[in-house]
Each structure stands twice: as C-alpha cells, then as structure tokens.
Amino acid sequence: MNISGKQGVINGETKVLGIIGEPVEHSLSPAMHNAAFKEEGLNFCYLPFRVSSEDLPAAVSAVRALGLRGLNVTSPHKEAVVPYLDELTPEASFLQAVNTIQNQNGKLIGHNTDVEGFLFLLANNNLIKNQNIYPGGKICLLGAGGAARAACLALSRAGAEHIVIYNRTPARAEALASLLVKGGLFKEKAVDVVKWGKNALRESLTRVDMIINALSVDPVELGLLPERTGKPVCKAAIDLRYGSLPRSFIKWADDNGMLFFDGLDMLLGQGLKAFEILTGEKAPLQTMRKALLQAVV
C-alpha cells in the first residue's frame, strides 16, 4: 500500500490519521494528505472511516485506544463530537464545532481549521483587499450549520460588516445570529435573519457584496434565488461544496455577472492547517493543491 513514509510503505511505526463522517467515501482529504506525507517523507497514512451517529462515541474512544495521531471530522459530526473531547481551542469552543481532533498523548483536543480554510479561500481568490472584504462587507449566507458558523468567524476577521442569514430551520438561523452578536463579531443591527421561502432573498440581495451557499444542496434548485436580474447581484458567489456540483448555482452566478468559486480552496486551506496541527510539520501547499485537483471529479 504505497501511500506513506520515505519508502512509500506502511510498517510498524506508521502513524495513522483519518477522517470520520457519514458519508465519507467522497472525501478528498485522504488523497491530499497522503500525497503530502509521501512528498515530505513522513511515515504517516490517512484513512477514511464511515462512522454513524450512533457509533460516534465509540469512534472517538478508538482514537485513544488505537493510538491514532488524530482525525478530521466532517458532516454530520462536527457539532456532535464536541462533548466527547477533553479540550477545545478558542475557535472550536466559540463555534461549538470541531473538524480536527488532535491526540496529544491520550488527551483529545478539538480544533476548527474551517476558519483558516475559508480565509484561505477568500485570500487566494482576491476577495480580500487591504485586509478587508472587497468591495464592501455585506454578505448573504445560506445555511446555519458548522461550516456556516466557521465562515462567519472568518468573515468577521476579514472585515465583513453585515450578515444576512437564511436557513430552512429558523431556530438555527436565530441561534447563529445570536452567537455572532453576543460574541462581539457583529453589531446587532448588522445581522439579519430572512424567513425561508421561494424567492425570499430577492430583496435581501440588493447591495450585497457576496453570497455564500453553506447548504448541502443547490440553492437555485430549491427556488431560493431570483432569476436573472440584468445586472450583477454582487461581486462573488461561493459554494462551500466542491466536486461534481449541480450546475444551476454556477449558471445563475454567471448569468448575473458574478465570479463563482466552489469550496475546494476552503478544503485545501483547512487541510494545510490540519496537516501542521497533526504532524507538527509545515504543509506542502503545491503538493496538496495538485493532489486535490487530480482527485476532484
């Protein structure tokens, strides 16, 4: 199995990392991290583990029992995993969402590298100018889960001034809005929650600088967005999903004169940070980027 170590083989000293989620087969993280281990001559391997919600406590316990160096965490476990960890970093504690578990001699520490990942996406695509969101700072956010929360924390650090939140479950949207205000990220008048419904965003999209889809589905196919406006709605549309996306949102952005970006750069950015946390080594950016581009379908 030629995926790790200086000799490209697994042996008795190989350190094991992985990712848990349900589903997890689609994840590009194994390709990205194993390519980095090989490039850097590190005796690590990275494996995907499909874990149901019922088996999550046992899976976390297995990190200690099996001596795994750590895990990445993807949907639907980013929030549910929190109670089973020994310590949270400030970002993970604030968001109550974890995407990286570090095993430090049996002590499990929860990190959230999605914040760094989203900042990487913004910076890598010239959506931050002079340390601030370009061009102005009003963001329309679709979704209120763990990825959406991480994006909000990153956006506040990047200078965003106004967030409009739209989510199928109003209570989750209101909870996110409350978190942003009470946490001091945004002023109360700068966070709005929009009621779910077809074309409900038509008015909210006026004078918006960026629209971000943190839902697991295409927002156009749900009928959430207005049809062609005849002028750019905003500078950029970002879909935190990646891979073989339905084309509707991409076409909608193009028809309305917007730049479109998927979540591949966010995956890369969070992966770079997770690599450094879990290995203690500097992440090879170009190697990991190349591996993602080769693996994406």
Residues 6+ apart with CB under 8 A from 244: 297
Closest CA relative to residue 108, chosen from 82, 80, 77, 76 = 82
Catalytic residues: 78
Residues in the chain: 297
Q: How many of the other CB atoms lie within 10 Å of CB of 48?
A: 18
Sign of CA dihedral 167, 204, 261, 89: negative
DSSP structure class, residue 232: -
End-to-end CA distance of the chain: 23
Residues 6+ apart with CB under 8 A from 258: 211, 232, 233, 234, 235, 236, 237
Q: Three-class SS of residue 30?
A: helix
Q: Which strand ranges, in their side-by-side order, compose the sheet holding 162-166?
A: 191-194, 162-166, 138-142, 210-213, 236-239, 259-261
